[in-house]
């Protein structure tokens, strides 16, 4: 090493001379070792409020846990996320590693330079799964590279994978499983067994983090790590006492200030506009972010379930690490609508029902999925009764009730201290009985003005406006228009000069043109440059947003060539693939490219964050 020519923050001349004397004598690898050592010292210094004098430094050294320097191996923590949970766990993992003097680099798969993969040494991966086994939207390019022919052999890499998923889906945690399999195929060595986490991931993730950090740290650090552990708290790790903030674990109680039906008379669906006050919360958000709502189950369904189980409402059960009456637990702590493979297994054991027993096992995935589509928890309980059932035994088969995320359809620049939502009420019939979505029915039937809801902000960094001069094309159907209302409000408030084009689809013009008056006003004022609509049930053959895109293919391509950012929001099963196919055809035709080159054109837009999707 050569002599350093700059001084660090607040260092005395004597300290600086000592550092320089050490620096010039270091051999390759020793600097990295020391960086971990000093990172550990700095962490303890910050935790104790800094060192003001020699006595405090001495006391800190005596009181602090032993500092163990990092090994000379590099550590990279990669995350792939749809809702932010993987990102929060990646941060928690990095902080836990730092406690042991292990320096790490945390990277989003969407930003990770894949050429670096062959240079990695220790690689920890945390990823969620989107739908039936797909990677998170932002991580698609990374998965394609890793699973493709260009992926390098990794004989010198050690790895571990934490997979997040939802056991409602048959291909549970498949994103993490794919990464785990592929890294092994490429010759990497597994540091720790993969852990698959359901929606109640906190405890399992905490145990995995503690195990991985202990595996990476030297022996002394393992002992220290085992004694301290890691506590996961929502979107990050709590390593020292801190002031509670409003988040998933500690939601803010928001007051409803407006709740009205947007759809008109004769509509085949009900879509609502809901406004909530965030005043006094300190919560902020950006256009593209989501609002998490912690719902309550339908009281009628709770009563039906208690009746079907023949259990007393006041029976005591354990929920969220506390004791609650069964009625309260079923109302606010557990998912009691859709069945899961976990519940099928549990109820098969309790009831001994042959039909349920036959649905168990990986080879019955298709039959089990069909059964769960046709039967909710209440149907299974009624169909396969269990005599002498204990309340605690029943709830062991249920998952915790999870918040639901809704794209925020407002900008703080236009609606200070408020968050607006655009929500479609889910109603349908199953087994001769009317059913409804947990949160949408709560909002439609029990969320009156002045009522309250527990809420929090869920950031969505993969669905963001570009700079004010960049053109934007916004494509959405139904409630997928919600974030675009926020986009346009924000651009109007900022006086953005970039062109904006909205392509919106719904069923009928007269009853389902959401926010029609607002869009017309924005067009008149020039805030919105262009709007194309597709009302599928107003004409034969039906027309959808992808058809409107194809009809304006020349203009779409011209906007893209001018630097436009393109956004897609809505249904993941149909809208997203249909729009992607239309864009591929447009680029191929207008750009004179074959299908492969057109696909690469769009992939490049995704890598540069110019093609962003928020689909569900």
Residue by residue, DSSP assigns 50-82 as: ---SHHHHHHHHHHSPPP-PPPSS-EEEEEE-S
CB 476 within 8 A of CB 545: yes
Tell me how many helices (H) and strands (E) the chain has: 23, 23
Q: CA 302, CA 395: separation in Å to the nearest integer?
A: 13
Displacement of CA 289 from its chain's centroid (Å): 11
Q: Does domain 299-395 have CATH number 1.20.990.10?
A: yes
- pLDDT of amino acid 22: 62
Q: Write out the DSSP string of 239-285.
A: -S-----SSSSS-EEEEEEEEEE-S-TT-SS-EEEEEEE-TTT----
Give the residue ranges of DSSP H helices in 333-418. 341-351, 354-357, 365-374, 377-383, 391-395
Span 434-462, average pLDDT: 95
Maximum average pLDDT range among 12-16, 31-35, 70-74, 409-413: 409-413
Element (H, E) at 225: helix 219-228
Span 482-502, average pLDDT: 97
Closest CA to 568 of 526, 616, 532: 616
pLDDT over 80 at 39, yes or no? no
Span 539-556, average pLDDT: 96
CB 500 within 8 A of CB 485: no
Four-residue CA torsion sign, 382, 385, 388, 391: negative
What is the dotted CATH code of the domain comprising 75-237?
A: 3.40.50.360
3-state secondary structure of 414: coil
Closest CA to 419 of 249, 528, 293, 248: 293
Question: For all residues of the chain together, what is the average pLDDT?
Answer: 87
pLDDT in tens, 254-310: 999 999 999 999 999 999 999 999 999 999 999 999 999 999 999 999 999 999 999
pLDDT in tens, 141-182: 999 999 999 999 999 999 999 999 988 787 889 999 999 999
Supply 142's token pair. Answer: 């990374």
Displacement of CA 386 from its chain's centroid (Å): 37
- pLDDT of amino acid 69: 44
Supply 49's token pair. Answer: 């409020």
CB 358 within 8 A of CB 331: no
- pLDDT of amino acid 2: 45
Closest CA to 162 of 189, 192, 126: 126
Q: CA 148, CA 130: separation in Å to the nearest integer?
A: 20
**pLDDT > 90 in the chain, percent:** 76
Closest CA to 398 of 326, 451, 454: 326
- pLDDT of amino acid 64: 40
Domain spanning 252-294+403-458: which CATH class is it, in words?
mainly beta
pLDDT in tens, 378-437: 999 999 999 999 999 999 999 999 999 999 999 999 999 999 999 999 999 999 999 999
Long-range contacts of 392-396 (CB under 8 A, 24+ apart): 392/316, 392/317, 392/318, 393/350, 394/309, 394/311, 394/350, 395/317, 395/318, 395/319, 395/326, 395/329, 395/330, 395/334, 396/346
pLDDT over 50 at 237, yes or no? no
Span 67-95, average pLDDT: 84
Instruction: Say if 75-237 and 472-615 have the same CATH topology.
Output: yes
Domain 472-615 CATH (choose: 3.90.1330.10, 3.40.50.80, 3.30.429.10, 3.40.50.970) = 3.40.50.80
Residue with more model confidence, 563 or 70? 563
pLDDT over 70 at 616, yes or no? yes
Closest CA to 148 of 529, 454, 603: 603
- C-alpha distances out from residue 412 to 274, 331, 454, 487, 501, Å: 15, 33, 19, 11, 22
- pLDDT of amino acid 216: 92
pLDDT over 80 at 446, yes or no? yes
CB 124 within 8 A of CB 77: yes
Residues 6+ apart with CB under 8 A from 140: 134, 606
- C-alpha distances out from residue 227 to 90, 218, 221, 223, 261, Å: 21, 15, 10, 6, 55
Residue with more model confidence, 510 or 60? 510
Element (H, E) at 106: strand 105-108
3-state secondary structure of 375: coil
pTM: 0.81
CB atoms within 10 A of CB 611: 21
Q: CA 173, CA 166: separation in Å to the nearest integer?
A: 7
How many residues are listed for the chain in this entry? 616
Span 311-339, average pLDDT: 95
pLDDT over 80 at 34, yes or no? no
Q: CA 268, CA 535: separation in Å to the nearest integer?
A: 13
Q: Over the range 396-412, which residues count as b (16 or more CB within 10 Å of their CB) and which as e?
A: ebbbebbbbbbbbbbbb
Give the residue ranges of DSSP H helices in 482-568. 482-494, 509-512, 516-525, 545-551, 553-561
Closest CA to 210 of 189, 232, 190: 232
CB 332 within 8 A of CB 356: no
Supply 31's token pair. Answer: 């600097």
State the greatest distance between any 2 C-alpha atoms of the chain, in Å, as a whole number: 84
pLDDT over 80 at 101, yes or no? yes
Q: What is the CA radius of gyration of the chain?
A: 27
pLDDT in tens, 180-234: 999 999 999 999 999 999 988 998 999 999 999 999 986 434 444 433 333 333 3
Residues 6+ apart with CB under 8 A from 550: 582, 585, 586
Site of tokens 């085949």: 268
Span 244-261, average pLDDT: 92
Element (H, E) at 611: strand 611-615
Phi, psi of 196 (to 5 degrees): -100, 125
Q: CA 20, CA 409: separation in Å to the nearest integer?
A: 55
pLDDT over 50 at 610, yes or no? yes
- pLDDT of amino acid 11: 61
Map out the domains of the chain as residue ranges: 13-63, 75-237, 252-294+403-458, 299-395, 472-615
Q: CA 261, CA 152: separation in Å to the nearest integer?
A: 54
ω into residue 541 within 30 of 0, thus cis? yes
Q: What is the crossing angle of helices 202-216 and 85-99, to 10°?
A: 40
Q: CA 339, CA 371: separation in Å to the nearest integer?
A: 9
Distance separating the N- and C-terminal Cα atoms of the chain: 52
- pLDDT of amino acid 245: 79
- C-alpha distances out from residue 181 to 147, 174, 276, 380, Å: 10, 10, 45, 35
Q: CA 142, CA 120: separation in Å to the nearest integer?
A: 15
């Amino acid at each position: 090493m050569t002599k350093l020519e700059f001084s660090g923050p607040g260092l005395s001349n004597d300290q600086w001379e000592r550092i320089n004397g050490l620096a010039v004598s270091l051999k390759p690898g020793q600097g990295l070792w020391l960086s971990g050592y000093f990172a550990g010292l700095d962490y303890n210094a910050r935790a104790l409020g800094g060192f003001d004098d020699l006595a405090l430094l001495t006391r800190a050294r005596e009181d602090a846990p032993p500092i163990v320097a990092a090994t000379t191996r590099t550590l990279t923590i990669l995350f792939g996320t749809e809702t932010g949970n993987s990102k929060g766990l990646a941060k928690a993992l990095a902080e836990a590693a730092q406690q042991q003097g292990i320096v790490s680099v945390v990277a989003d798969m969407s930003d990770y330079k894949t050429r670096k993969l062959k240079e990695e040494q220790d690689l920890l991966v945390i990823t969620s799964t989107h739908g039936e086994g797909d990677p998170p939207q932002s991580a698609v390019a990374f998965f394609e590279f890793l699973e493709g022919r260009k992926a390098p052999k990794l004989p010198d890499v050690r790895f571990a994978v934490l997979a997040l998923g939802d056991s409602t889906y048959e291909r549970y945690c498949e994103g993490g499983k794919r990464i785990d399999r592929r890294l092994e195929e490429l010759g990497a060595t597994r540091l720790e067994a993969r852990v698959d986490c359901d929606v109640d991931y906190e405890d399992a993730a905490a145990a995995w983090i503690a195990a991985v950090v202990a595996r990476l740290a030297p022996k002394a650090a393992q002992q220290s790590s085992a004694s301290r552990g890691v506590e996961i708290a929502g979107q990050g790790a709590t390593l020292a006492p801190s002031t509670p903030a409003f988040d998933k674990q500690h939601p803010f109680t928001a007051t409803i200030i407006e709740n009205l039906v947007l759809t008109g008379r004769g509509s085949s669906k009900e879509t609502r506009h809901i406004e909530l006050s965030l005043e006094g919360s300190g919560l902020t958000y950006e256009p593209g972010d989501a609002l998490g709502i912690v719902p309550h189950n339908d009281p009628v369904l709770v009563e039906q379930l208690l009746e079907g189980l023949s259990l007393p409402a006041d029976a005591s059960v354990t929920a969220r690490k506390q004791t609650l009456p069964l009625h309260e637990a079923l109302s606010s702590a557990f998912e009691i609508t859709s069945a899961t493979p976990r519940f099928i297994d549990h109820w098969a054991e309790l009831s001994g029902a042959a039909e349920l027993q036959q649905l168990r096992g990986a080879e019955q995935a298709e039959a089990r999925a069909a059964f769960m589509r046709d039967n909710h928890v209440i149907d299974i309980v009624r169909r396969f009764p269990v005599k002498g059932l204990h309340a605690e035994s029943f709830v062991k088969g249920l998952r915790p009730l999870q918040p639901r995320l809704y794209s925020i359809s407002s900008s703080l620049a236009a609606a200070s201290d408020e968050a607006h939502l655009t929500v479609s009420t889910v109603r349908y019939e199953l087994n001769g009985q009317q059913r409804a979505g947990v949160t949408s029915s709560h909002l439609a039937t029990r969320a009156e003005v002045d009522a309250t809801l527990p809420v929090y902000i869920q950031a969505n960094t993969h669905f963001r406006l570009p700079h004010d001069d960049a053109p934007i094309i916004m494509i959405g159907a139904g409630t997928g228009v919600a974030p675009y209302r926020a986009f346009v409000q924000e651009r109007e408030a900022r006086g953005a000069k970039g062109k904006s084009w909205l392509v919106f689809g719904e069923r009928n013009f007269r009853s389902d043109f959401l926010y029609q008056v607002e869009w017309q006003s924005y067009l008149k004022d020039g805030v919105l440059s262009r709007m194309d609509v597709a009302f599928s049930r107003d004409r034969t053959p039906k027309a959808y947003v992808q058809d409107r895109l194809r009809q304006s293919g020349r203009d779409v391509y011209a906007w893209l060539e001018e630097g436009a950012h393109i956004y897609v929001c809505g249904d993941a099963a149909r809208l997203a693939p249909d729009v992607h196919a239309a864009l591929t055809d447009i680029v191929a035709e207008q750009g004179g490219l074959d299908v492969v080159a057109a696909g690469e054109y769009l992939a490049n837009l995704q890598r540069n964050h110019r093609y962003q999707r928020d689909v569900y």
